Amino acid sequence: MTTLDNLKKADDVFAEREGDPEEQQKQGKKKGRGDIHIRMQQRNGRKCITTLQGLDERLDFERMKQEFKRRWGCNGTVITDPEAGTVIQLQGDQREHLTEFLLGEKLAKADQIKTHGL
Residues 87, 47 share a domain:
yes
pTM of the model: 0.69
Q: Which domain holds residue 74?
A: 34-116
pLDDT of residue 4: 45
Residues 16, 72 share a domain:
no
Give tens-digit pLDDT for 36-63.
999 999 989 889 999 999 998 899 999 9
Residues 71, 60 share a domain:
yes
Of 4, 90, 80, 74, the closest CA to residue 39 belongs to 90
Number of folded domains in the chain? 2
Where residue 86 sits, what CATH number does that domain have?
A: 3.30.780.10
Residues 59, 6 share a domain:
no
Residues 107, 84 share a domain:
yes
Burial 44-75 (b: 16+ CB within 10 A, else e): eeeebbbbbbbbeeeeebeebbeebeeebebe
